[in-house]
Structure 1
Amino acid sequence: MATSTTTLQEPFVELSHWNRNRSSNKEANETIPRFSRENSGPDGEDVVIQQLLPADGGPAAWRLLIAAFVFEALLWGFPISFGVFQDYYSKQPEFEGSSQIALVGTMAQGLCYLGAPLSAMLTKRFPKYHRQQIWVGWPICIGGLVAASFTSSVGGLIATQGVMYGLGFIILTYPIICMIDEWWIQRKGMAFGIVACSSGASGAVMPFITSALLEKYGYKTTLQATAVAMVLLTGPLMPLLKGRLPPSEQSAIARVNWSFLKKPLFYIYALATLIQSLGFFFPAIYLPTYATALGLSATEGALILAIMSVSQTLGQFAVGFMTDKKFPVTGLVMGCSLMATIAVLAIWGLAKSLGLLILFSIIYGFFASAFSPLRVGMGRAVSDDPSAVVATYAILSFCQGIGNVLVGPISSVLLSQRSILDEYAISRFRNVVIFTGGSMILSGIVVIPWMLWPRQKGAGSSPG
C-alpha cells in the first residue's frame, strides 16, 4: 500500500518540501513535539503525519548546540593553533631548515576554506547522509594526527597533519552547520555566534597545553595524546548530532539566485578577500617563532597566540554586530584593513619585547579577523536573496582559502635565514612583515573605486 506525507496547514510545516519552503515557515514550528501516525487517505493510501520538536530552544536544540561547540572548539581549534607546532618543528633536527613546514598548518586550514563550496553542495544534495558524513570525516581527522606521529619528514607531516586532517574536518563540519541551521531559526545569529566563539576559546587554552606537551614529551606523543583526547571528548557527543527536520526522500539542491555574479561589487569583494588572505595567516603561524628569536620562551609565544585568539573572537562579534546594524560593508573593509596595516608595519615590525607583541596580537586579531563575519555582509550587499548569501559566503571562503594554501610557498621565498635583533622585524621576518602589511592595505584600497563609482541610487541590495 502506498504511503504519502500530508501537507499540514499552519501552524505546521510541510515536511515533504521543507528545503524549498523553509524560509516561509519560520514561525511554524516553535512548540510542536515530534510524533508520527498513519491514517487512511481518500485513495486508500497510508498517510504519515510528522511533527517537529521545538526550534530555538528546548533540550534537543541545546544538546545539539553544545555538541557543535565542543566539536568546533577541539577540531578547528587544533589547526588554528599550529603556530606552536611550527615553532617546535623548526627546531627539530629532522625538520630544521625546511622552508615547507608552514604548509602543514596551511593545508589543514586551507582545505577547510577551499573545500567549502563542494562540501556545502554535497551536504545539501544528500541530506539523508549527514550523520554518515560526520562518521566518515571524524576518524579521518583523528587518523591524520595518529599517522603524523609516525612520520619523520616534512612531506609526511603535510600529508597527514595537513591534508588528511583538513579533509576530514571539511567532510564533517558542513553537516553540523546544517543541523544548527535546522534547530535555530529566530535565534540563528546567537547560535552561530556561540559556535564561532568556541575556536577562540580553545585558542586561548590549547597553545599552552600543546606547548607544554611538546616540550616535555615531543611531537609524536603529543599528537597521539591529542588524538586520544579528541576521541574521548567528542566521541560521546556523536549521538547528539542529529538534525531536526526529516531527511528528504528526493534530495534536491536548493535554488540559488546567481544574479549577484553580474554585479561588479561582488568581484571587488572577492578580490579584496583574496588579497587580504595572502597575508592574513602569517602572524598566527610565525609569532611563536618570532618570539623565540627575540629570546622569549615557548610559553610566552603560546601566550601571544592565546591573546590573539581572544581578540579575534571579540573582533568577529563586534564586526558581525555592525553588519547586522547595516553599517556600510565597504567602509568596514577599509577601516579594518587600515588598522590591521598599522598594527603590522608599526608594531610587529618594530616589536622587540613581549609587551609590543601582545599589543600587536590584540589590535591585529581584532581587525584582521573581521573579514570572516564581513562575508555575510558582503553577501547581503550584493543580493537580497538568502540563498545567495550562502552562495557568496562559500565562494568568498574559497577565495580566503587560496591565500591560506599559498602561505607556505610564499613564506619559503620571504623568510631570511639570519636574525639581527637591531634591524626591522629582526631582519629574518622583514619581508614577511612588509608583505603582510602590504596585503592588508591593498585589500582596503581595491574597494575604494566602488565608493567613487557613480551609480544609481537604490540599485544595491543593502549598504555596500
Structure 2
Amino acid sequence: MTPVDVAVDDDDEVIEAPIEPTVTRASRRASRGAESPLAFKGLSLTPIPAPVPITPPDTPGKGIAVPAPDPFAPGLNPSLPPTPGEASDPFGSDTEHEAGATEDTVVALPPVDRGAQAWGFLVAATAIEAVIWGLPYSVGVFHEYWVSTLFGPEATSTLTLASTLQTGLLFFSGALLGPLFAAFPWYERQIQLAGLAVSTAGLIASAYATKPWHLLLTMGIMYPCSAATYLPCATNVFEWFVAKRGLATGIMYGGTGAGGTVYPFVVTALLHRFGYRATMLSIAVSYCILIAAGLFFTKRRVPLVKRVGAIKKRIRPKPDWAFIRTPAWWIGVTFMTVSSLGNFIPLLWTPSYASQVGIRTPSPAAFVAMMNGVSVIGNLASGSISDYVQPRYSVFAYSVVAAVACLGLWGFGTSASALTGFVILWGISGQCLCGFWARMISTIARDDPAVPQIAFSVFISLKGIGAFTSGPISTALLKINAFSGAAGAYGDTNFGVLIIFTAAMTLLGALPMLAFPTS
C-alpha cells in the first residue's frame, strides 16, 4: 500500500498526501517492466483496494486512512436477530444472508405465519397435493374401466398390481427422496422438475397402452415419480409457518381429500364422453400445467446455500442423527406403523360392504367421495387442534373416536343412515390423523431444521405399509366368518373380523402416543 501523510485542515477535513518513496535501481527496473507494452498481465495480482478513512471512537472527527477489506478474504458473516414480535424458530429467522451475498449484504426475508408469500406458498402446495394425490385416490375408476372395457377380466391381477403399486410407491418413495433432498438441497428444484417430467410422460404413455404391463410401467412405476415434486412442498411449509404450522399442514393435507373427491367424477365424465385416450391426454396436459404453475409459488423462504467463488457452502449444518435415539422418534414410528395397517381398509372396502348389505342410495362410489370430502374439513380441524393441544392427547382422542365408529356404526351399520354416519366420523377422525404430523415432527426435530424432511419421508413411507398390506390382509380376514349369528355386520356379513382388526390397529397404534413427549 502506498504510504500517505494524514493531516486535518481547519474544517476538520481529512487531507491525504502521498509520500514520495525512495527510488532505487531495482524498483526502477520493476516499474519499467510493469509499464512495458510487452508485459504479460496474466500473472498480475489483484490490486490492493484504495484506502478509505474511518473514524476511531477516541478521536471524534479525526479520520485515519486504512486499507479497505479484501472482498475475497474469508470473514465472518454477521447475523441479525429475528424481527421483534416473532418467536425465534430453528427453521429460519426473518433476516438471513441471501445465497451468494457478500458479508456486507443482507436481505429481509418474508415474515412467517402471515403475508402474501406465506399464504401463496400454502395455496400452491395444497393445489399440488390435490392434483398429485387425487389421481391415485380415484384409481378405482380407472381400474374398473381397464378390467371391463380395455383389457378384460383375464388381466385383473396385472391391472390390480398397477393400481396398488401407484399409491404404494408414492408413499414409499419418501424413504429415498427425504435423505436425497437433505443431502443435496441445492438441487431441489431440478429434482422436482425431473419428477414432473417423468410422471407427465407416464400419463401420456398410458394413453397408448395396448397391453396390461404397459400400465404397470406407466401408471404403476413412472407416475409415482411425482413424489419428487410433492415432497419439498410438504416439508418447506415448516419454514413458512411456525405458530400456525398445524393449521397450515392441515389445509395442505386437505388437498388430498379435495382431489379424491373431485377426480372420480371428472374422470368418469371424461371417459364416458371422450374415451380413454383423450381422457388420459387431457389429464396429462392439465396435470403438467397445474403443477408447473404451482411450483412457481412454492419457493423456499430461507436460502439454503451461498457461493464463495466456485464453491457451494451450506448455510445450515447437516442433520444431527441423534434424533433417532429419542423416545419421541420411536413412539412416532410405532404409532405410524401400527395405525397404518388399518387406515386404508374403510376407504377400500366401504363400497363393497354397501353393495353386500343392499344399500343402493347413496351409491357405493358416493360413500368414497363423501369420506374424502369430509376429510378436507377433518384435516383442517386436526391441524388447528395440534397448534394448541399436545399430540399425546389429541392423537389418542381422535383414534378412540375412529375405533368406536368402526365397532359401532360400521359393525352394526346395515342401513344407509348408519353407514353414512360411520363414513363421516371416520373421514374426520381416522383419515385425518396426518393433521397431527407437523406438531409431532417439530417435537422430534427439536432445533434441527434439517430433520423435518427426513422425519416426514419416514412417516409417509410407513403409511405406505398400509397401502401395500391392506389388500392382502383384508382379503385374508374376509375369509374368516367367526361371528355367525351375531347382530349387525358381525353376523350378517363376513366383515366382522375385518372391522375388529381395523378398530384394534387404530387404537393400539395410538396407545404409545400417551407417552409422547410434550413440546
Please classify the TM superposition score into its range, dividing by the shorter chain length: 0.7 to 0.9
1-side partners of 2:227 and 2:122: how far apart? Answer: 18
**Paired residue for 1:430, among 494, 510, 518?**
494
Out of 150, 162, 180, the residue aligned to residue 122 of structure 1 is 180
Amino acid at match of 1:129: Y
* Residues 24, 94 of structure 1: alpha-carbon distance in 2 compared, 3 angstrom cutoff: closer
1:440 equivalent to 2:503? Answer yes
Aligned-partner SS, 1:347: helix
Q: Residues 291-302 of structure 1: matches in 2 within 5 Å?
A: 291=354, 300-302=363-365
In structure 1, list runs of 5 or more residues that go unmatched.
14-20, 39-46, 417-422, 454-459
In 2, Cα distance between equivalents of 1:183 and 1:12: 14
Partner of 2:322 in structure 1? Answer: 258
Asked whether the 8 Å contact 2:124–2:297 carries over to 1, the reply is yes
Give how far 1:132 is off.
Answer: 0.7
Contact 1:82 1:285 survives alignment (8 Å): no
1:3·1:48 contact (CA, 8 Å) conserved in 2? Answer: no
**CA separation of 1:60 and 1:234: change in aligned 2, threshold 3 A:** same
SS at match of 1:196: helix
Secondary structure class of the residue paired with 1:10: coil
Partner of 1:195: 252
Q: Which residue of 2 aligns with 1:164?
A: 222
RMSD: 4.1
| Distance of 1:427 and 1:210 partners within structure 2 | 37
Q: What is residue 430 of structure 2 aligned with on the other side?
A: 368
- Supply the distance in 2 between the matched residues of 1:24 and 1:132 (Cα, whole angstroms): 22
Contact 2:332 2:513 in 1 (8 A): no
Please list, as runs of the form range in 1=range in 2, the aligned pairs for 1:93-112 lying within 5 A after superposition. Answer: 94-96=151-153, 98-99=156-157, 101-112=159-170
Distance 1:348 1:139, change over 3 A: farther
The corresponding residue for 1:42 is: none
The worse-fitting range, judged by mean Cα deviation, of 272-281 and 56-65 is: 56-65
Using the size of structure 2 for normalisation, the TM-score is 0.69
Q: Which deviates more, 58-67 or 124-133? A: 58-67
- CA gap of 1:285–1:219, structure 2 versus 1, over 3 A, is farther
- The TM-score normalised by the length of structure 1 is 0.76
Kindly tell me: are residues 390 and 119 of structure 1, through their superposed partners in 2, closer, same or farther at Cα, counting changes over 3 Å? closer
- Following superposition, the deviation at residue 441 of structure 1 comes to 1.5
- Are the counterparts in 2 of residues 207 and 303 from structure 1 also a CA contact under 8 Å? no
Q: Look up the match of 2:421.
A: 359
Residue in structure 1 matched with residue 90 of structure 2 by the alignment:
23
**Matches of 1:310 and 1:143, distance apart in 2:** 29
% identical equivalent positions:
25
Cα gap change, 1:222 to 1:262, in 2 (>3 Å): same
Task: Report SS of the residue matched to 2:105.
Answer: strand
How big is the shift at 1:336? 3.2
Match for 1:283: what amino acid?
P
Q: Equivalent of 1:8, from 78, 87, 90?
A: 78
Paired residues of 1:311 and 1:362 also in contact (CA < 8 A): yes
Q: How many residues align?
A: 429
Q: 1:346 to 1:92 in 2, by over 3 A?
A: farther
Q: Shift in Å at residue 258 of structure 1? A: 2.3
Match of 2:126 in 1: 69
1:187 is displaced (CA, Å) by: 4.5
Alignment CA distance shift 1:244-1:236 (3 Å):
same
Name structure 2 gaps, 5 residues minimum.
Answer: 1-45, 47-71, 306-311, 480-486
For residues 280 and 117 of structure 2, the distance between their equivalents in structure 1, rounded to whole angstroms, comes to: 33
Cα 1:203–1:5 shift into 2, 3 Å: farther
Which stretch shifts more, 222-231 or 2-11? 2-11
| 1:80 counterpart (132, 137, 152) | 137
- 1:442–1:415 Cα change, 3 Å: closer
Distance 1:189 1:55, change over 3 A: farther
Render the CA deviation track for 1:68-122: whole Å, top value 9, x for unaligned: 2321221122212333334444544725363565443432232232222431221
Inter-partner Cα distance in structure 2 for 1:380 and 1:181: 9
Number of the residue aligned with 2:200: 142
Deviation string for 1:276-328 (max 9, x for gaps)? 21221133234445556667779934432222123222223333333332346
Task: Please show how residues 48-447 of structure 1 align to structure 2 within 5 Å.
Answer: 49-56=105-112, 57-92=114-149, 94-96=151-153, 98-99=156-157, 101-166=159-224, 168-185=225-242, 187-248=244-305, 249-251=312-314, 254-256=318-320, 258-261=322-325, 263=327, 266-291=329-354, 300-327=363-390, 329=392, 331-348=393-410, 351-352=413-414, 354-379=416-441, 384-385=446-447, 391-411=454-474, 413=476, 430-431=494-495, 434-445=497-508
Residues 405-461 of structure 1 show CA distances to partners (whole Å, capped at 9, x for unaligned) of: 223443554567xxxxxx976999835x6335413323423654786x9xxxxxx73
Letter in 1 for 2:195: G
Question: Aligned with 1:233: secondary structure?
Answer: helix
- Going from structure 1 to structure 2, the CA distance change for 1:404 and 1:147 (only over 3 Å counts) comes to same
- Whether the 8 Å CA contact 1:99–1:411 is kept in 2: the answer is no
Aligned in 2, Cα 1:92/1:435: closer, same or farther, shift over 3 Å? farther
Tell me if the contact between 2:94 and 2:110 (Cα under 8 Å) persists in the aligned partners.
no
